[in-house]
Structure formats: structure tokens, C-alpha cells
Amino acid sequence: MIDPLQLLCDLVAMPTQQAGPDGVAGDERAVCEMLAPLLHNLGATVHIEDAPRKHGGPGAYIFANWGPPTTLLNAHIDTVPANSGWTTPPWQPQRTSARITGLGACDTKGAIAAGIAAVQAIPATQRHGFGLLFSGDEERGTASVDKFLASPHCRDIKRAIVCEPTARRAGIAHRGVLSFRARLVGEGGHSSKADHLTKPLAALARLATKLDDYALANLHTGPASMPGLCLNIAGLAGGVAFNVIPTSAELLFSLRPAPGFDLAAWQQTLAGFANAIDPRITIEQAVDHAPFASLDGAAMERWVAPHVSSVGPLDFWTEAALYMASGIDAVVIGPGDIAQAHSADEWVAIDDIHWAVATFSQLLQSHA
């Protein structure tokens, strides 16, 4: 018998972090290979595929199916690097009567353990029509899910449960994520010539202020459930010394648009702001994660409502947007709370794991 709590501890003990400042990345394929025999023993057909991470390094996913799947449960294997402030080693799980602490326990190895235990709870004769996908490269890229969605494995899939820590809620919509780098290159030189030479830092500072003013003016635009742009000025870099006009500067900023956001209109507005300050400013889009809204939100709500506390929008981006773009409807559900994700001493409540096992078992059986 598979104990989901022990399995979660075993998963936490296997580092799968994206590379941090130390350059050390965890091993996604090792987790896939550890899970494979468990899934085989539950009667699944199992596939392990390499999927190199988009920002460098090896990656992988494991897909298990019980007949041609129409319903998919997807949780990601990788984690962020360990945040500062941990009071115990991040990869040494700590278990109490109420919670399990460890890197990835909440986001989303608890969902992996619960998903496998959910299949175990389904009688063997009723295990058909669904699949489990445990994928890598979610925290920085989307390599695994992109590769899976381009494969024959997803041919029959109609709907997906995308696992993220939702505090027992279900998400049928969420914001996207767009990030940009604005750059200006000038002549550079001695600060005594500052009145007559291009000042890249000052120009990009004016752009940053213009963007922030625009965000404040649009705090109440968009759908009532997700108003505003969540526009963040994240960094302004380029100076070397007080008496040196920097040759170049770079501004990093992002926004989180709601479903229905007009990207083309935003790009035109952004270009207008930059050209009015200095036509030589160049802007590169670094991240383009589309917003998500279930293709049939009413149907998704009817499906999941008996098992969750509420159904509605989420504040954070998930790979559910990729399923939607591929024509597969999706809902976001998982054990734990996003407030614990990415934090020092990340944890998941044991009661949440048991809830997820029961919830996933019911949803996978209602695939028809």
C-alpha cells in the first residue's frame, strides 16, 4: 500500500529545484524513475520522456495512463531554489501530526503523492479513462507540458486538473504574466557633459514613472474579479560611478493581465510611451504567459463544486493556460495554500493531503 504522507516525504528528499545562484539544479528524471514502478504496480502504462528545461539543464516528465485518457491530472515535479531563512534543511522533510515541511511539499509534491494515492483508492476494475502527468520545468519554463501537448499522448484528453496549492478552492480563471526589458544605449562619458549627452538611466526612470502612473490610472479596469494590471517595476540598472554617464541602462518590468487583455493595444501603448521619451529605447518581451479562463467555466464548476470550498479566479499563473490554448479545458486544484509556496519552511497540511486524495479519486472516476 502506498502511504501518501511517506511518499511525499520521499519526494521532498529528492532535490528537483531549478538552478539558483549556486547553479545547482535538481534531477527531474530521477523522480520520474522513482515513481515509475509505483504506477506500473497500479496497472498503468508508463512513459518517461526527456524534456530539457528552457533555461538550461536536463528535464523530464512521466505520463501514466489507464486506457485512452479523457481526464488528466497534472502536477509539476520541479521546485524553486530554496529561499533564505530555512530553519531545517530544505530536502530533509519534517513531519508532525499536522503538517509536512520541506521544499516542494506544498508546490506541488503533495499533489503528486495525493494523485497516486487517489488512483490506489479506485478499484482496479474502475481504473480507466484517465491519466497522470508529473512534469518538470514549471517554475521557470514550460518545456515538459509543451512537449507533452505536442505528443500523441494527449490525443483523447478533454479536460485537465492542473495541480497548484489552492487552499481547497478551484480556479477556473487566472491572470497571465508578461515581462519586458527596456534598454537604451547612449554615448557614455564624463558627468561634466551630462547636460549634453544621452542619460540612459534618467530616460528609463522616466519610462518607469510613466508605466507606474498608467497602472495607477487603470486600477479598476478589466473584469471585476481581476481589476488592474498588477504592473511591477522590478529593476533599473546601468550605473557604474557617480561621475560616469553610463553607456547603457536597462529597465525590467512586468504585468499580470486578466483574461480578455488586448495585448496588441498594450504593445502599441508601450511603444508610444518609449518613443515619446527617446525613440532609441528598445523593448524586448522576456515572458509571455497568457491569461487563463476555462473554456466552459460552468461545466468545470459543476464538475468540481461538490469537492471544493469555492470556485473562482486565482491570483497566480499556472500551466492551465497551456491546456486551454491547446483546446483542452482545465481547472486548477491542489492541496496546500499558495501562501506557503516558495517560502522558507514551506509546508502542507496533512489534512489537505487526505482531502486531495479523496477529491482526486472522485474526479478521476467521474471522467465519463
Q: Find cell 468540481 and name the residue.
A: 304
Q: Which residue has the cell 486531495?
A: 356
Bridge partners (DSSP) listed for residue 132:
64, 73
Q: Which of 28, 49, 138, 346 is catalytic?
A: 138
Cα(139)–Cα(17) distance, integer angstroms = 9
The secondary structure of residue 18, as a DSSP letter, is P
- Roughly how many angstroms between the first and final C-alpha of the chain, as a whole number? 27
How far is residue 224's CA from residue 276's CA, in Å, rounded to a whole number?
Answer: 32
Q: Is 250 tagged catalytic?
A: no
Please state, in angstroms and rounded to a whole number, the distance separating the CA atoms of residues 19 and 132.
26
**Closest listed residue to residue 177, CA positions, set 256, 248, 94:** 256
- The kind and range of the H/E element at 254 are strand 248-255
Q: Hey, what amino acid is at 185?
A: V
Beta-sheet pairing, 189-190 with 71-76: unpaired
Q: Is 302 exposed, middle or buried (0-12, 13-18, 19+ CB in 10 A)?
A: exposed
Helices (H) and strands (E) in the chain, counts: 9, 18
Active-site annotation, residues: 138
